[in-house]
Amino acid sequence: MAQSHAKSNAKKELIEHMEVSKGTGILMTIALTFLSLVFIFPILLVLLNSFKNKLYISDAPFALPNGETFSGLFNYTNGIGKTGLIAAAGRSLFITVFSVIAIVLLTSMAAWWIARVKSKFSDLLYYMFVFAMIVPFQMVMFTLSKVTDMLNLGNMFGIIFVYVGFGAGLSVFMFTGFVKSIPISLEEAAMIDGCSPIQIFFRIIVPVLRPTMITVAILNAMWVWNDYLLPTLVLDSDAPTIPMAVQYLRGGYGSIDMGAMMAMLVLAIVPIIVFYLSCQKYIIKGVAAGAVKG
């Protein structure tokens, strides 16, 4: 505690030292405010157009809705009817939550064992997981979808195991890196006191691993929630996730219902923004920590 306090004081001093003059500061704030508006603009544009009749979107997206073009919530009701987005959101949520729980629990257990047991076999396991991180999905997409078909895992429950297998690389890598920095003496003391390895893991290692677990959970949640290609190949097309449902709106060549599309984009973005704003501290920290270890 005292240490982190000293650290934040040092950081404050540093920032004071690097501060710009007041005039420059105001200029920079103005420039950054403008840039922020540019960053938010695309999202606001989609929101605006989601209330317009579909015929007035593609040609004049920058026009505000008026008496003629305003269509109320029609795009939302129509789009939800067409895509089944509410059910898709339920599926996305289910898959994301349970995949992330499974990944965090199972890969942290595996990583701990790999880091603590020193043998040729555990080295081999570690390098296989690291290797998996650089393999692009296209390399295995066809054969992976055939394997899940053969095993009858092409559903919401089966895909969780697929995510554990495919997410194992990065997660094991991150957990192993952290476990190696935990002194082994704690575990030795616990073992002398009669703890079993299972108790050691859940009572001693898990509490220490918690910050890394949050990082791994956030990185995997971002991946699974937004993933398009893997669920498209693995799941039945009549039970889509959110990204699949959005892509289905494109339909055949050139026939997009732009109204429904805008409304569905809004509905796809809102949960992400709510989640982001409610735990942005963890998300930003997690991303920074994840990158440093990656």
Q: Which of residues 37-76 bind another protein (CB under 8 A)?
A: 39-43, 45-46, 49, 57-62
What is the nearest approach in angstroms of another protein to the Cβ of residue 5? 16
Q: What single-letter amino acid sits at 149?
A: D
Runs of H (alpha helix) within 180-257: 185-192, 197-199, 206-226, 229-234, 242-248
The residue written with tokens 């965090």 in the block is 104
Per-residue x/- mask for another protein, residues 254 to 283, rule CB under 8 A? ----x--xx--x--xx--xx-xxx--x--x
Q: With CB under 8 A as the rule, give the number of residues binding another protein.
A: 106
Contact 248, 176 (CB under 8 A): no
The window from 26-34, 64-72, 74-82, 207-215 that contacts another protein (CB under 8 A) reads 26-34
CA 141 vs CA 82, 172, 233, 238: distances in Å: 28, 21, 8, 20
Out of 79, 154, 169, 259, the only residue in the binding site for another protein (CB under 8 A) is: 169
Q: How far is the CB of 228 from another protein (least distance, A)?
A: 5
Of the candidate residues 6, 25, 72, 127, the single one contacting another protein (CB under 8 A):
25
- The angle at the Cα of 201, spanning 199 to 206, to the nearest 5 degrees, equals 120
Q: Which is nearer to another protein, 93 or 144 (CB)?
A: 144
Backbone angles phi, psi at 130, to 5 degrees: -65, -45
Per rule CB under 8 A, is residue 146 in the interface with another protein?
Answer: yes
User: Which amino acid type is present at position 100?
Assistant: V
